[in-house]
Amino acid sequence: MGLFAELKLAVPWGHIAAKAWGSPHAPPVLCLHGWLDNANSFDRLIPLLPKDFHYVAMDFGGHGLSSHYSPGLPYYQENFVSDVRRVVAALKWKRFSIMGHSFGGVVGGMFSSIFPEMVDKLILLDTLPFALDAKGVEDVLTYRRGAIEHMLQVEASQKPRQVVSPEEMLQRFLKNNSHVSEECARLLLQRGTTEVATGLIMNRDRRMALPEYSMDFISRELFVHSAKKLQAHVLLLKAIQGYYNVRRENDSDRNVLLFVMDTLKSVVKERFQYVEVPDNHYVHLNHPQNVAGFISAFLLSKETAPHEL
């Protein structure tokens, strides 16, 4: 499937960048990348998916080739949900499917519960539809404090962006992203960096720090309420060597995932499918063939989806 176009969609602070595959007249699928990643996250998966869909992978604000948010505006999850609403308005989509990896799945899930009538299918790649912390919501205020202090610290710092050699940039990226292969790291850096005279600089906004500073962690009660709002069919693809906890701590603790599965099975019922696949958190990028068949069958399935693939 050839690349259809690079898109630049106007927003009040600049533009949201995206890349599109397939005919714009085909049923649309919006692809949402993970924290500090970019639209290239889907480059190796989309060519393996059915050709009769229109896939658009957007860069969230402050990521990839998208404009940074206006000065003083924080990068909170709700703002990314708003980014999605702006993008689909610009594309004039009334109903579409969402495929989200990691943080992108949480944004997609939140969007699907706020605008349930707009989302046909929700595909979650090693992620949950809403942010649940293993310890509940007790750390939320600490995260909010960290987010505010980090933003003020970055604003006060006048340090220029660091320029590093391509090789050093690659090694740093691999050190911070142990689940990404070298080939895939190069792919993400291709859209995540800009070449200058003496090397590369990162494109992303330095106001973004730890994902928990931006995420809207909710209680189990609110998770159930949000799940009840979903009208979409939901496919959760769990990477066996992936992450089981949003904060990546206590990663052997499956309680959050078990709660999510039980809730979705009881609330979303036959519209929910769960599949475990071999590989790690970036399975869709490292080994897209492990998930492409399940995603293809799910996208092509009619309204009455079976309980299991």
Domains of the chain: 3-132+215-300 (3.40.50.1820)
Is the pLDDT confidence value at 4 over 50? yes
Sign of CA dihedral 46, 48, 49, 50: positive
Q: Which residues contact 132 (CB under 8 A, 6 or more apart)?
A: 217, 218, 220, 223, 246, 256, 259, 260
Please compute the mean of the pLDDT values over residues 192-202 and round it to a whole number: 95
Give the chain's radius of gyration (CA, Å): 19
Confidence of residue 249 (pLDDT cuts 50, 70, 90): low
Task: Describe the chain by its helix, strand, coil percentages, rounded to 5.
Answer: 40, 20, 40
Please compute the mean of the pLDDT values over residues 200-221 and round it to a whole number: 94
Q: Which of 100, 229, 212 is nearest to 146 (CA)?
A: 212
Q: How far apart are CA 113 and CA 231, in angstroms?
A: 8
Please compute the mean of the pLDDT values over residues 245-255 and round it to a whole number: 66
**pTM assigned to the model:** 0.94
pLDDT (0 to 100) of residue 1 = 61
Identify the residue with better confidence: 259 or 246: 259
Question: Which member of 41, 66, 97, 102 is catalytic?
Answer: 102
Q: Check if 112 is active-site.
A: no
pLDDT (0 to 100) of residue 54 = 97
Please compute the mean of the pLDDT values over residues 279-306 and round it to a whole number: 89
Please compute the mean of the pLDDT values over residues 279-290 and round it to a whole number: 96
